[in-house]
Every structure is written in C-alpha cells, then in structure tokens.
Amino acid sequence: MKILVVYDLPREGFKALTDAGHELFFPKETLFSGEELLDRLTDADVVVSVFTQPFTAEHIDAAAHLKLIANYGVGFNTIDVEYATKHGITVTNTPDPVIEPTAELAMTLMLALSRKITELDRKIRIENGLKWGIMENLGDSLQNKTLGIIGMGNIGQSLARRALANGMNIIYYNRHKLDPLIEKQYHAKYVDQNTLLTDADYISLNAPYTRETHHILNKAAFEKMKPTVYIVNTARGPLIDEVALAEALKTGRIAGAGLDVFENEPDIHADLLNLENVIMVPHVGTGTIDTRIEIGKCVSKNILNFLNGKGEIDKVN
C-alpha cells in the first residue's frame, strides 16, 4: 500500500509499516505544499494527517484510492470527517499516547501560573527588575484549592491524579457523570457548569472541540468566576472566546491564564502578548520526542490493523 505522511515525522514511529513492506512517502521539507499534496494524493491508499494541515473535501476528492485517514494526534476537527464517511473512508486518531504528556503540561502551566515562574524569571534578568524580600513576589499555593476540570476524560483524569498529589480538591463538568468508582478514585465531585465556574480556583479545559463546546468560556462565563481564578487550556483554542479572555485578564476579572492552544493559531490576540498574567506555549501538549515516536507507533498500529482487517483501531467515524 502507498502511505502518504503529510509531515516530516520521526521515522522510528513508522518502522512497523516499513517492516511490513508498505511504501511510505514523507515530504522533503517540513510538509508538502498545497499543490504537491493534491498531486500525491491521486494514488495514495492511506494518508497520515496532522492538525496543522487541514484535510478537506478537496483533498478527499483528489484521492480516488483513499481508504484510511490515520490522524497523527487525538484532535480530528481539522479533518472533514463527515465527507470522508460519506465516501466510505475510515478516520482514526491516537488517543492513548497523548494522555500523560498533555496532563503533564496542564499541571506545569498551573504550577507556573500560581508561583509566577515566567514573570519572575523575566524580571530577575533585568537590573532592578524586582524587589527581594519576604513579602515580595508572592504567588499562590495549589494545596487546598479547588480544581474544576471541564472534560473529565482520560486527560482530565490524568490531570486529576496529579492535582490530588498536590493536595487539591477536584470538581468536574462532563457530558455524562462518571462511574462512582472512578469518582472515588479521584475524589472528584460532579457539578453543573455554573457551579464549576463559580467555585473553582483553577479551571482546566480538557474537552474535545465540538459545536457544543465552542466558546464554552466566554464573557458571561468569566463574569461568574472568582477574580482569583486561573484558566488553563491544553485542549483546543476555540473552547475560549479569546477576545473575552484578553479583556478579563486586562481588567483583573480573572487572575491569569496558561495557554497551549489558541483560537486562530498561529495568530494570537495582540493583547495576550503584552500581559504579565498569561503564560503561552506553542501547542506543545504532546511536544516531547518520546511522545512523537509513540504517536507514530499508534498510527502504525491503526494502519496495520485496518489493512489486515483484524485487531482494534481508534476509529472516530
């Protein structure tokens, strides 16, 4: 089979495919140009897609032999899944390898925000940039604070495990209430969305991006929150109304935000770039070399199981 990988990804993750005798085609540069991608799709049996390269109806129409879109990552909102389904094309993703690194980054952002790590790092490098003293440069403790998790799936639960180790209380809002045994495991309490917004000291977004979750945090939501709340988003940018977020941060309506994802990335709202109470990283929730290789292995497993017609695949349509 001809397998087209749209991005220059670590080859170690795809060894199982080459060992099985399949042809893999990677771009010579970082990724294929738009024209080259359309041209190469004409005889591709499988495509390995990435979130930075939308896979649209136009691409599907160009791929007459396409049987499988194997997404490299968990989020598949940049793929026209409905159109693929209509054309009998299977779409898979890689939910398992992203769990731990994404929760790890969410916890990192929470700690960095509460202890003002990046702000103090910037200021200490400047002559007279800060004062030294017992009552200077004070942050907040995580212990005994309430973490509200929006989206208590695998990543949300992994974050809850880390938060528990830091002495936090866990509340969560989900489409469905979790099994009582899972709630007990994380000492987690199910609440409605309004209760989470008003009671949480930290709010972490770990939900998928859908029509229902678009701008789940908007101006009205920020107005319900404590002025001391910290927001962390390692899910998808459009879960937050970025204009409303910038305004809430500028006016002190909320205390701070840690953002791995943005509404129109790579473009970022200009006000966010100039605020001390925001920590931003460039969509690196799964950004470790170990994870990149593991995601490739998961993609390879999906492709091999699909082509062999046996074994589980992480099917999304």
Its domain, for residue 206, covers 99-280
Is 162 annotated in the active site?
A: no
- In a domain, residue 210? The reply is yes
- In a domain, residue 317? The reply is no
My answer on whether 15 and 161 are in the same domain is no
- In a domain, residue 181? The reply is yes
CATH number of the domain that residue 164 is part of: 3.40.50.720
pTM, whole model, 2 decimals?
Answer: 0.90
My answer on whether 229 and 121 are in the same domain is yes
My answer on whether 78 and 109 are in the same domain is no
pLDDT in tens, 177-202: 999 999 999 999 999 999 999 999 99
Is 283 annotated in the active site?
A: yes
CB atoms near residue 214 (< 10 Å):
14
DSSP 215-229: TSB-HHHHHHS-TT-
My answer on whether 69 and 110 are in the same domain is no
Per-residue pLDDT at 71:
98
My answer on whether 168 and 64 are in the same domain is no
Determine the angle formed by the axes of helices 117-124 and 99-114, rounding to 10 degrees: 60
Residue 52's pLDDT band (cuts 50, 70, 90): confident
My answer on whether 241 and 186 are in the same domain is yes
- Compute and round to an integer the Cα radius of gyration of the chain: 21
The rounded mean pLDDT for the chain is 96
- In a domain, residue 316? The reply is no
- In a domain, residue 315? The reply is no
Residue 261's pLDDT band (cuts 50, 70, 90): very high
My answer on whether 26 and 61 are in the same domain is yes
The single residue of 115, 269, 283, 292 carrying the catalytic annotation is 283
The single residue of 22, 236, 263, 294 carrying the catalytic annotation is 236
- In a domain, residue 314? The reply is no
Rounded-to-integer distance, Cα 131 and Cα 145, Å: 27
My answer on whether 257 and 158 are in the same domain is yes
Is 176 annotated in the active site?
A: no
Q: 236: which residues sit within 8 A by CB, 6+ positions away?
A: 75, 77, 208, 209, 213, 261
My answer on whether 137 and 223 are in the same domain is yes
- In a domain, residue 90? The reply is yes
pLDDT in tens, 78-91: 999 999 999 999 99
The single residue of 247, 265, 269, 292 carrying the catalytic annotation is 265
- In a domain, residue 59? The reply is yes
My answer on whether 243 and 256 are in the same domain is yes
pLDDT of 17 strictly over 90:
yes
Rounded-to-integer distance, Cα 286 and Cα 253, Å: 30
My answer on whether 43 and 135 are in the same domain is no
- What is the number of domains present in the chain? 2
My answer on whether 169 and 273 are in the same domain is yes
